[in-house]
Structure 1
């Protein structure tokens, strides 16, 4: 991690309740904090370079470690196994959401008066999208290669499972996501700044699922400039420098964050 340290920010590891996290702190005084969630099979350390980019533009960045990932992967899950992904990914997203209040409380206690945004890639983007729908005082969301249409999310995850019947626990998790589907609550997003960027050639999360969410939620936006959905050509399931540049530009110029 040494090579990722920069002269303009400090990097520290903390425990927030039971959640290991990395905080990237710009050296100048700031009042904006971004909680950024990593994707399936990744970890908090692999978000440091990305976090440094946000920090260089004046954001404190909190990088939580998801359950079954990084130092929390005590079960030694094989993230390359699609059946494992199908069995665990919704559990991880739900666990991220359950742990989020402790992270927000930590920020409010240690950095009083800060404005808070959420973001993430892939699984982390799904987490951030849900949190943005549920917590109305969040200032904006950066959703990279995610899907806020959780009906399509559940359908896609179930296709990964090589089984004829799901057990009761998995059924209850599916029901949670269907009942809490952000797409069914478009008013939760009304005129709130929202970045939704997907790779046009993404073969992991179909961008059509996110586009279906946008088509629904844009109906309630009076200021449609605050809903920034883009498909990036010749781009797969990745966060590109162009995506980061466009997101930060939107945040500074339109969202005021």
Structure 2
């Protein structure tokens, strides 16, 4: 899955260059976007603008399309003053539009929700997501670019807001959520759904399963520089919730179990792994309940 030449060309180029390129590629959607402050975004104090709002699915105020730190995103405000902010990342082959219902649930739990579009997804481009070669060439570049962009978004939010920030992601978005939590201490909490917080271990197991050659030393070093496993430090005021389907065939649970074994202790109640038996790479109602309980106790 690890492809260093493409990785170096795409994922490791300066963020400002990528964001400038992304801005040029924005669709007609972006023509309706206007300048705004992060403070306005958080509290929803923006004046109405034509062609911008998209009505929520189940009684939310409205979705708003914005570029946040250059990243196309959907924003949804709760009906009352928010208790926190959730940055919500979709998975491989999905789009920010397809996560509207998920976002509306979280907004109903009194959070402002931001759904950034993943690189090479939605209006930022497309790939043959079911093709194995495409996956191997693009997975890590997309994850790492997503972490870098999420870090910029969290930094911007932190400058003008004191509300707790949570990052939630599923599958590829789960990798991004874990990576952002590990690298940015202004992220109060994170929920990783069917993702991994031990990237090098995940890659090793992936290659072993498919009979691929092991990673070269330089590839391991590059991946370690972003791997949450390398950065995790226990903290009394931060929480990490790992939700994983026991039968997950897309992102097997093994690397998350390894992360817990190596990085969690009996005294460390800041990390929790919950396994869901008999389910394969899905977001279940039980997971949503656990996320709700987690947010309620970490605000």
1: distance between equivalents of 2:230 and 2:151? Answer: 23
SS class of match (2:165): strand
Aligned mate of 1:85, from 117, 129, 135 = 135
1:232 is aligned to 2:276: yes
Q: CA RMSD in A?
A: 2.7
| Change over 3 Å in CA distance of 1:125–1:11 after alignment to 2 | same
1:124 is aligned to 2:173: yes
Shift of the alpha carbon at 1:9? 3.0
What is the 5 A alignment of 1:198-209?
198-209=244-255
1: distance between equivalents of 2:256 and 2:75? Answer: 29
Provide TM-score, normalisation by structure 2.
Answer: 0.74
TM-superposition CA deviations, 1:9-38 (whole Å, max 9, x none): 321110123210001111211140011111
Structure 1: which 5+ runs fail to align? none
Provide TM-score, normalisation by structure 1.
Answer: 0.85
SS class of match (1:117): strand
SS class of match (1:140): strand
Alpha-carbon contact 1:136-1:188 (below 8 Å) kept: no
Aligned mate of 1:51, from 103, 121, 133 = 103
SS class of match (2:196): coil
Structure 2: which 5+ runs fail to align? 1-52
- State the aligned residue count: 247
2: distance between equivalents of 1:139 and 1:100? Answer: 14
Aligned mate of 1:114, from 137, 142, 163 = 163
Alpha-carbon contact 2:84-2:165 (below 8 Å) kept: yes
**Partner in structure 1 of residue 119 of structure 2:** 67
**Partner in structure 2 of residue 222 of structure 1:** 267
SS class of match (1:36): strand
| Change over 3 Å in CA distance of 1:160–1:3 after alignment to 2 | farther
1:152 is aligned to 2:194: no
Runs of 4+ in 1 over 3 A off after TM superposition: 1-4, 156-166, 171-175, 188-191
SS class of match (1:30): coil
Shift of the alpha carbon at 1:174? 5.1
Larger radius of gyration between Structure 1 and Structure 2: 2
Alpha-carbon contact 1:13-1:22 (below 8 Å) kept: yes
Shift of the alpha carbon at 1:222? 2.8
Aligned mate of 1:35, from 87, 104, 109 = 87
| Change over 3 Å in CA distance of 1:68–1:199 after alignment to 2 | same
TM-superposition CA deviations, 1:219-241 (whole Å, max 9, x none): 2x6352x3221110111101111
